[in-house]
Amino acid sequence: MSTLEKTPSAGPGSAPRRGPDLAKVTGDLLRSRELAVLVVLLLLVVVATVKSDGFLSGDSWRDLLLTPSILLLLAAGQMLVIITRNVDLSVGSTLGITAYAAGDLMSSGSSPWVAALGAVALGALLGAVNGVIIAFGRVPALVITLGTMLAFRGILLHWAGSDRVNAGEMDPGFLDLGTAQVLTIPVLTIISLVVVVAVGYYLRTSRGGRELYAIGSDPDAAALFGLPIRRRVLGAFIASGALAGLAGVFWATRYGGVSSNAGEGIELQAVAAAVIGGVAIFGGSGSVWGAAIGAFLLVTIDRVLPILGVPDFYQQAVVGALIIGAIVLDRVLASRAERRLAVEREVAP
C-alpha cells in the first residue's frame, strides 16, 4: 500500500497544480504486468484466428467468452485472499458443494432465486470456516484450506453419492441463463465482469481494500499500526467462499447438471490465474484486473494449443512454465525494489 505524502500548498504566484504526468502514467502502464499478460492473450487469439478461420465465429466466440466466466469469479476471490499472504485451496470443493446445493434446492421445488442465494450463502459460510480457523487460530492457510478442500469434497461425496442433479430437475429459466447472450456476449460473462469491476472498485477506493494490501505487504507493521488484521483476513475468506458459491450457481446453469466431481482441480486454475495475472504469491501487490486477464489467458491457452497441434502434455507444461515464470519475476522485481530503496536510504541526507 502506498503512503500518502504531504505536499506544500501553492502560494501566491505559484503555478497551478497539474494532473499526473502523462509520460509517467504511460511508462507505468507499459511496465505493468497486466498489460504484458493482455498482450500475450491477444497474440494467442491472433495466432489462433490465422490458423483457424472459425476461431472467433459462432459458437467458438461464445465459448471463448463463456468458459472463463466461472474461473473469473474464483480468481477474483482468490486474489482477495492471496494479497493478504494466504491462499484458498478449498474453492473447488466449495464450488462443487454449492452447485449441488443449488440443483438440489431446485429439484425440491425451490425457486432459482432461493437456490442461487442459498448457494452463495453456503459458500460464504464455508469461507467463514476457513477464515475463523486461519485468522483467529493463526494456522497456515495452505494447511487449513488443503484440509477443508478434502473435508468439503468428502461432505459432497456423502451427500450426493452416485446421484446427480439432472437438467430436467432444474428450472428451465435457470438453465436458459447458461446460454443467454447480450450482443453476442454471454450473460454469465457479463455478470462475472461486473463482479470483477466491483471487487476492483472496492480495493481501489475503500479503506478495507487498502488495508488488505497493507496486511499482505507487512503483517507486523500492519499489527503495530493497529489495523484489524483478523477481521480483514476473515472477510477475504468469506468473500472468496461467497464468490465460489456464485461460481457453483454458474456451474449448474452452464452445464445443466451437477455431480459429486463438480469443480475438481479448478482451485489450482484459480491460483494460477491470479499468479499469472501479476498477483504476488507472497502478498501485498496485484490487481483483480490482472487475475481476470490471467483467467482468460488460461482458458484461451487450452483452446489455442490444440489448434496449433500441441499435445496435452505440453499444454500443461506451458501453464506450469507460466506460473514458475510469474513467481520468479515477482522475486526479481521485489529484489530490485529492495536494492533501490537501500540505495535511496544511503544517499538521503
- Give tens-digit pLDDT for 277-319: 888 888 888 899 999 999 998 888 888 888 877 777 777 787 7
Q: Residues 163-189: what's their mean pLDDT?
A: 87
The answer to whether the CB of 274 falls within 8 A of the CB of 78 is yes
Tell me the pLDDT tens digit for each residue of 259-283. 888 888 899 899 989 988 888 888 8
CA–CA distances in Å: residue 136 to residues 15, 77, 85: 52, 20, 15
Q: Which residues contact 104 (CB under 8 A, 6 or more apart)?
A: 165
Give the pLDDT confidence score for residue 349 in this predicted structure. Answer: 57
Q: Which DSSP letter does residue 182 get? A: E
Q: Report the alpha-carbon distance of residue 244 to residue 269 in Å, rounded.
A: 13
Q: Would you tell me how many other CB atoms lie within 10 Å of the CB of residue 118? A: 19
Q: Report the alpha-carbon distance of residue 230 to residue 234 in Å, rounded.
A: 6
Give the pLDDT confidence score for residue 30 in this predicted structure. Answer: 46
Binned at pLDDT 50, 70 and 90, residue 107 comes out as confident
Q: Which DSSP letter does residue 12 get? A: T
Q: Residues 14-19: what's their mean pLDDT?
A: 45
Domains and CATH numbers, the chain: 2-347 (1.10.3470)
Binned at pLDDT 50, 70 and 90, residue 344 comes out as low
Binned at pLDDT 50, 70 and 90, residue 342 comes out as low
The answer to whether the CB of 96 falls within 8 A of the CB of 262 is yes
pLDDT at 343 over 70: no
The answer to whether the CB of 219 falls within 8 A of the CB of 140 is no
Give the pLDDT confidence score for residue 183 in this predicted structure. Answer: 85
Q: Residues 252-260: what's their mean pLDDT?
A: 87
Any idea what the Cα angle at residue 187 is, between residues 300 and 271, rounded to 5°? Answer: 40
